[in-house]
Amino acid sequence: MAYKVGILGATGAVGQEIIRLLHDRNFPFSELHLLASANSAGKIHNYAGNSWIIQEATEECFSDIDICIFSAGAAQSLQFAEAASKSSCIVIDNSSAFRMNPSVPLIIPEVNPDAINDHKGIIANPNCSTAIALMGLYPLHQAFGLKRFIASTYQAVSGSGAAGLKELETQIKAWSDGRSLKSEVYPHQIAFNLIPHVDSFEEDGYTREEMKMLHESKKIMGIDDLLVSCTCVRVPVFRAHCISISAEFERPVSLQSAHSSIQSFQGVELVDDPDNLKYPMPLNYSEKVPCAIGRIRKDRVFNNGLAIWVTGDQLWKGAALNAIQIAELLHTKELIN
C-alpha cells in the first residue's frame, strides 16, 4: 500500500532531509505534498527527477493526505495538528507542542514502539538531544536498570536549522578574511566558541532544552522516578550532536555486558577502541543512520555507574529519520487508514 504523504515545513533544513530520506528509504508513498508558509507557496522543489509545487499550509489541505510530518515549529503544529487529525490525517510532529501531552505517544521506534498502538491521530517526535542520548542509554537500561544520569550535550548548529548552519559558515569565512563577525541566530559568536545556552532559561537556572532531557526521558522509558541533570552547549560543529553521560544503574555493571547490550541493540554502533584512537565523532556520524557509542568506562562517582559518549546526526535520528521511522512503524503495524 502506498500513502499520500505531507511535509509541513518542507522548505526548512529538517523538511529537506525528510524529502531525501523518504526516497532513500523507499517509503511507500504515492503522492508527496510539500506544505509551507504563504511566502513559499508556488515555488518549485526538485528532487530525484521529480518536481513539486509548494502549497500554502491551510486547515483544509490535510483532507487528501494520509500522514503528515510536521517540521515547522510548535506554533504551526498547534495551529494545524488538530485540523489534520480531524481530517483522518495522522500527524508526526517534530516540535515540542505535544511531547508531554499524556494522550500523545512520544516515540523512539527502537525504544518504545508499542506506545504507538494507542495513538489518537498525533504522534510526537522527541527532542534531538533526548533521542540521541536514549539511543545510548536504553540498551544499558535494559541490562542494568537506569536510576539517574548527568548529561552534557555538545549540540551542532544544525539544531538551529538552516540559519544556524549559515551563521557558522559566514562567521568562519569572515574570520578567515579578517572581517568582523556578526551574530544574529545566537546570542554570542559561535565560530571558535562554545555557548552554554540552548533555548530559554527557566527560574531554576536550567534551560527548557535541558528540562526536555528529564521529562521526555521519563515518558519514553517509563521511569517515573528517573533523576536527570543536564547542561546543553552549542558548539561550532555543522552537523551531529554529541552527549557525555554519567549514569547510575540499579544493578552492578560490567564493561563486557555493556558492550554486548549495545552491540545487540538496533540502530547503534559500538565504537570503543581508545587504544587505536577509535571513538564516535561528529564528522563520522553526519548523514549516518545509526548513532554511535564509545568511551565506555566505569564511572568514578556513581555506584553501579557507567560513563559513555554518544554521537548522532541531529537532522536524522534527532529529527527527520526518527519521524520517518515512526511512519515506517505505522506502516508495519498497519495503523494508517
Catalytic center residues: 128, 241
C-alpha cell at 78: 498547534
179 contact partners, CB below 8 Å, separation of at least 6: none
B/e letters for 290-322, b = 16+ CB within 10 Å, e = fewer, are bbbbbebeebeebebbbbbbbbbbbbbbbbbbb
Q: For residue 242, give the nearest of 290, 159, 312 by alpha carbon.
A: 312
Task: Please give the single-letter amino acid code of residue 6.
Answer: G
Coil, helix or strand at residue 161? helix
DSSP H or E run through 149: strand 146-155
CA pseudo-torsion sign 8, 12, 14, 15: positive
Tell me how far apart the alpha carbons of residues 254 and 236 are, in angstroms, rounded to a whole number: 35
C-alpha cell at 337: 487508514
Q: Are 15 and 52 in contact (CB under 8 A)?
A: no
Question: What are the CA-CA distances from residue 42 to residues 15, 37, 70 (Å)?
Answer: 17, 10, 19
Q: Are 190 and 157 in contact (CB under 8 A)?
A: yes
Task: Please give the single-letter amino acid code of residue 133.
Answer: A
- For the chain, the distance separating the N- and C-terminal CA atoms, rounded to the nearest angstrom, is 11
Tell me how far apart the alpha carbons of residues 123 and 106 are, in angstroms, rounded to a whole number: 6
The angle that helices 13-24 and 161-177 make with each other, rounded to 10 degrees, is: 110
Q: How many CA atoms lie within 13 A of 158 on its CB side?
A: 27
